[in-house]
Chain A
């Protein structure tokens, strides 16, 4: 046994645990995705036990691809993920630049800004959908009611009354409805993850080349062109990383979707898998494999970037 064998063996428990954790369930998913397997079937009881004799080939995949829910779930997953990415990156860059300057109470403002990130997803969803977005009892409902009352009162006012009588009565939005539940999820997740983007961009801004900036100022560069030609290019890599990490996390959003509308009008892939898994395990597994493929497309790029910095 060479001198280095024992120390190297110390990583085996970690590697083995992860290997089992990854291979066993994923292998089962792959197997189930190729057979007919349902939990309850009066007509075909033989399908209720997983067995190779129920081989279906790519039948489950075909079934999933042809189902309307799957296309909707993919569209909805992409809509949610892309909207969140767009909003968090823009807000993140702006706010990171905003607090990158010294001002009184900066540390405290940073603490305020980062806090949403540590709120557990279930609380985040319950808090927003009930206490803030509810059309009657939430702040939204109260605010809309308040504005309507105010406008109503002003209608009878002398001189300016005619102006307010042109105003329409505002209607509060129900965020649990089919058309709006995705919007509610986008709002709450953006609130939770913008702090993450801010934190990363802030870390990155601190390593920005100050001499270069001073030179730009001496050359008479405007604040805008400094931002455009120095800060933004400097943030290119962190932005790419924020986008990829968030994409991977948000592709598997679950608690928020469940709490807002139980998936009503707002299913994403994980939610659809959960629904299939109530009975049709074959379809749930095939959908799972699609989800893995989708996540891997992003993960490959991300891992490549991490790999470059890993050994520096």
Chain B
């Protein structure tokens, strides 16, 4: 790189040191949460046990007892998985149609889809509560799955569209010659070809579903309540439960943070709608 030409001995050492310090600083709150999760509730608030303490697994072993963790986790898994599957099920054909059989309206349709993503959720809070309650859908898995799907559908269609656009049309056309019908084209040619793109879209969609914190909190009470709802309900400031609260928080975000490491690139695409490459 160009700057190397000017590198002095000082910056050769100072630069990496600074970069590492910034990285560690940003990660520190997460590290602190994980560390606290191995302390007892009593130790967690004592200055003398900041870094040296007797680690315990009790907070993790008692998650069910303390918070009914697995019920919420199960709801998070069910809603996020089914929402991701449903979104792909609707999104793949749509993106296929737009990428391989575009019409003059395709661009406008895509832009309109993205614009739905930009509406503030709170604006429709009451109508959503009213509708779901009168349809008997309030606090059901079905409702949360549908809402998560619809929130993420624009991003999923958009991401799939950009992946599909890269596939040469000829390959798809060749399928037509062999007498494969449209659905066969998608199932047998497109999906295997674009597998990587579909997988990373699914991963990102899953992460967004898991972290959603408006509708999952406002449209549930107990039956379909997800981990966001669980944590939100335990915001109490007493500070007596730092240990167990850290454990349940770590369990709630740990897997997702790790998954996130694997889709940094897709994140840029998915969140900027391709405007930054």
Interface residues, chain A, with chain B CB atoms under 8 Å away? 4, 6-11, 13-15, 17-18, 21-22, 24-26, 28-29, 32, 95, 98-99, 101-106, 108-123, 125-132, 134, 136-139, 142, 145-146, 176, 191, 194-196, 199-200, 203-204, 207, 210, 213-214, 216-217, 223, 226, 237-238, 241, 245, 248, 251-252, 254-255, 258-259, 269-270, 273-274, 277, 281, 284-285, 288-289, 291-292, 294-296, 298-299, 302-303, 305-307, 309-311
Contacts and interface: CB of A to CB of B under 8 A. Distances in A.
A131 B33 contact: yes
Interface in B16-39: 16, 18-20, 22-24, 26-27, 29-30, 32-33, 36
Contacts of A25: 124, 127-128, 131
B78 to A, nearest CB: 17
Given A18-B153, A106-B19, A129-B237, A139 B32 contact: yes
Contacts of A118: 207, 211, 253, 256-257, 259-260
Contacts of B116: 18, 21-22
B148 to A, nearest CB: 12
Max chain B Cβ within 10 angstroms of own Cβ: one of A126, A128, A217, A251 = A126
A173 B228 CA distance: 27
Main secondary structure of the interface of A (DSSP, over half): helix
A103 to B, nearest CB: 4
A269 B122 contact: yes
A283 B153 CA distance: 30
A289 B127 CA distance: 13
B253 A277 contact: no
A254 B253 contact: no
Contacts of B177: none
B268 A103 contact: no
A291 B1 CA distance: 46
Contact of B50 (A120, A142, A296): A142
A295 B23 contact: no
Max chain B Cβ within 10 angstroms of own Cβ: one of A106, A111, A134, A138 = A111
B119 A26 contact: yes
Closest 4 CB pairs of A and B: A288-B123, A270-B122, A118-B260, A25-B124
B111 interface: yes
Main secondary structure of the interface of B (DSSP, over half): helix
B94 A13 contact: yes
B121 interface: yes
B242 A103 contact: no
A303 B109 contact: no
A32 B18 CA distance: 55
A32 B131 CA distance: 13
B123 A292 contact: yes
Contacts of A196: 267, 271
A131 B32 contact: yes
A196 B271 CA distance: 9
Contacts of A213: 1-3
A7 B232 contact: no
Nearest to A94: B22
B211 A126 contact: no
Contact of B118 (A114, A210, A254, A302): A302
A80 to B, nearest CB: 14
A23 B277 CA distance: 32
A98 B15 contact: yes
Contacts of B121: 252, 270
B29 A127 contact: yes
Max chain B Cβ within 10 angstroms of own Cβ: one of A4, A11, A226, A281 = A11
Given A116-B30, A289-B123, A310-B107, A146 B47 contact: yes
